[in-house]
Amino acid sequence: MKKWIYRPIVEGLASRQAHADLPAGTVERELGKEGFFGPATQMIHPRPPTGWTSWEGPLRPRAFDLCKLAAAAACPWDAPVVLHNPHLCLRHWVCAQPMQALVRNADGDELLFLHQGDAELYCDYGHLSLVAGDYVVLPRGTMWRIDCVQPTTWLLIEATNSSYQLPDKGLIGEHAIFDPALFDYPRIDEAFRAQQQGALGARDWRVRIKRGNRISTVTYPYNPLDALGWHGTLMPVRINVRDIRPLMSHRYHLPPSAHTTFVAHRFVVCTFAPRPFETDPGAIKVPFFHNNDDYDEVLFYHAGDFFSRDNIHPGMMTLHPCGFTHGPHPKALQNMLVQKKPATDEYAVMIDARDALEVGDDMPSVEWTDYHRSWRSD
């Protein structure tokens, strides 16, 4: 059994309730373990702890405009790698036309996030129609392809050598945030049966299998997506960000971990969706400054107005490595206690990775190199 050293202390000028009733003219910084799940301390400061004037070394916060990675790839394995470590690989994929080959990931479960466009997914299990904002969990080894009329943009999140699971929702119950009954799954429908026939069914089909980031190609003289039916408990599932009902607390700003959607080995995927702002006059209404010293934090901005960040638009991604303090930008901090509107208006995908993330080779070409200066108030 693990037992943290634990003795709550209030020292000097401080509030007794975290994230609320701060002394006038101060800001709060949280130092925490285990990504907001472990022991934590709230420091009180007279000025924002992001007021640095220069930065040297590789740890700086980084931002990438993935919209500038416009080149389409016929296969998801050819899409540029954005960030990666031994347990996680993020790719940004523009699929401009129907895939002419099937793919299979033998390295781990794949989580597809459809950022832009509509698409049809065909896989071992059947057919699913997809729209922007859809998450699709594909178990390792699933054979699949995408059919689209217009270009589509995807974030691919590989759980390398791991599987996706649901978070433990504890006291709030299994139906909170989203009811698992909302999961859609592929069907053996008319569209699936049609792609087994005619020209699609008669031609040769290649399957590009990824294992150890090396590609093997298997060729069939027929369409191998030819299932007649299935039963069981292992299957792809789909849910849209608009089906997610975020946890709320009117008197206390909840940490990002409250919005966890999927968990895998050594990382989690969270979803930020529109929600009312806190209404208690003393509660802070922006993300609190914090040191997340056990996780690298990644945010992919999907849609809306990102209230805690300046100069961020949909399709961008930020990386905040563990080991430094970060939090709201100066414009957002002005609204720490009073917001100008009743609710947030943003959809974003957040990944918290326990192991340091490396930046993909193509990313420096689309990097906002002065992002670390964006906390300056001048």
For 67-85, how does the pLDDT look when each residue is reduced to its tens digit (9 = 90+)? 999 789 999 999 999 999 9
Provide the whole-model pTM. Answer: 0.95
Domain boundaries, given as residue ranges, for the chain? 27-63+245-367, 69-241
Q: Quick count: other Cβ atoms within 10 Å of Cβ 116? A: 17
For residue 369, what pLDDT is reported?
94
3-state secondary structure 93-137: EEECCCCCCEEEECCEEEEEEEEECCEEEEECCEEEEECCCEEEE
- Strand 260-264 and strand 358-359: the pairing is unpaired
Domains 27-63+245-367 and 69-241 equal at CATH topology level: yes
Percentage of the chain surpassing pLDDT 70?
Answer: 100
Q: What is the pLDDT of residue 378?
A: 67
- The whole-angstrom distance between residue 253's C-alpha and the CA centroid of its chain comes to 20
69-241: what fold?
Jelly Rolls (2.60.120)
Residue in 144, 136, 140 with CA at minimum distance from that of residue 161: 140
- Predicted confidence (pLDDT) per residue in 289-321, tens digit: 998 789 999 999 999 988 778 889 999 999 999
| Alpha carbon distance, N-terminus to C-terminus of the chain | 49
CA distances from 328 to 15, 309, 310, 322 (A): 20, 6, 9, 16
Note whether 363 and 269 are within 8 A (CB).
no
pLDDT at 323: 86
Model confidence at 256: pLDDT above 90: no
Instruction: Name the token pair of 234.
Output: 């292992």
The topology under which CATH files domain 27-63+245-367 is Jelly Rolls (2.60.120)
Rounded Cα gap, residues 251 and 90, in angstroms: 35
